[in-house]
Amino acid sequence: MERKNWKHLMMLLMLVAAISIVAVGCGSNTNNAGASATGNAAGDAPAASDAPSETAVLTLGLLPSIDAIPFIIAHEQGFDKEHNVNLEIQTFKSAKDRDVAFQAGKVDGISADLVAISIYNEAGLDVKITSTTTGEFDLLTGNDGVQGVKDLKGKTVILSKNTSTQYTVAMMLKQAGLTEEDIKVTEVPQIPTRLELLKNQKADAAVLPEPYVTMGKAAGLRVLSSTKTAGVNPFVLAFPQSAIDAKGQAIQDMYAAYDEAVAYMKSHDQSEYIDLIIKEVGYPDTLKDQITVPEYQPANQVDVKEVEAAFAWAREKGLLTKNISAEEVISDVQFKK
């Protein structure tokens, strides 16, 4: 994207954020029982709560995806309160809605990706990565002539441009000896539409997250590659530096609750929490027996090389023009350097 167009886009995004503050609460779904719908972002007055006054409130803006599950279980099981923090979780149907809430200061932290981090900081938002999260994108096909990523040369791939989905495909193609110029890209931001187009053979491949991967496989589609098999992990949790400064202890307490949730899932049968995953991620109940829950790991900090690779790609696309290093966007609030 040319610099001029990017600046124009950012102005439009900031305008949308400014006029959409009132609508954000209506566009999100708060999973936190008894929690405030608007949350308590850094700098706001503490939200009214039945919890003891010394319990910090931390508001997270998450997408309905698998990387949100440990945070949700941490709250549902009360692990957050045990660690003296009240997680108020708001889920958004799209990254656009999440970004509007984030820019409006309605959430403290968000589930994001490395390409988004580059865009935030390009726009002058001092946003820092506090950890990785467990997410996954898969590249699916319904074309019998495509047996591997290398077979996508000259074929049509559905994705969302200038996002982590395009970045993920670029890395998969590189590993297969191809470039982005070797494929034909059809941009479809709406994930359900991507799945339907692929099922109806309107494209040769598409990038999808869960639950659409499981839905696609149930419909006969095949997985060519994934962020996991490709060794790519663009998924992170991020906070503005202002929230880190104001709520550093609460962020550390959140990660203690997160790790306890991960331990809980390792020590309990999937049947004990699968209904929560179906509800929050949006799996069809009919696919209950086909859901594979990731092997979540305790929280850890992002690999500098992952950030550098994503930022290099963002620079190639004109999304990042500022001289920002990976170290500058990594916070040590939880994991000391």
* pTM for this predicted structure: 0.81
Short-list 138, 165, 134, CA closest to 71? 134
Which residue type does 128 have? K
d(CA 69, CA 135): 10
Query: For the residues 190-204, what does the mean pLDDT come to?
Result: 94
pLDDT at res. 186: 94
β-sheet bridge partners, residue 56 = 85
56-135+235-335 fold: D-Maltodextrin-Binding Protein; domain 2 (3.40.190)
Q: Is the pLDDT of residue 5 over 70?
A: no
d(CA 322, CA 306): 18
Q: Which residue ranges does the chain devote to CATH 3.40.190.10? A: 56-135+235-335, 137-230
pLDDT at res. 230: 95
Q: Is the domain covering 137-230 a CATH 3.40.190.10 domain? A: yes
d(CA 246, CA 257): 19
d(CA 91, CA 252): 21
Which residues, 6+ apart, have CB-to-CB distance to 336 below 8 Å?
none
SS3 56: strand
SS3 288: helix
Phi, psi angle pair for 71, to nearest 5°: -65, -40
| pLDDT tens per residue across span 97-108 | 888 999 999 999
Phi, psi angle pair for 186, to nearest 5°: -115, 120
pLDDT band at residue 305 using 50, 70 and 90 as cut-offs = very high
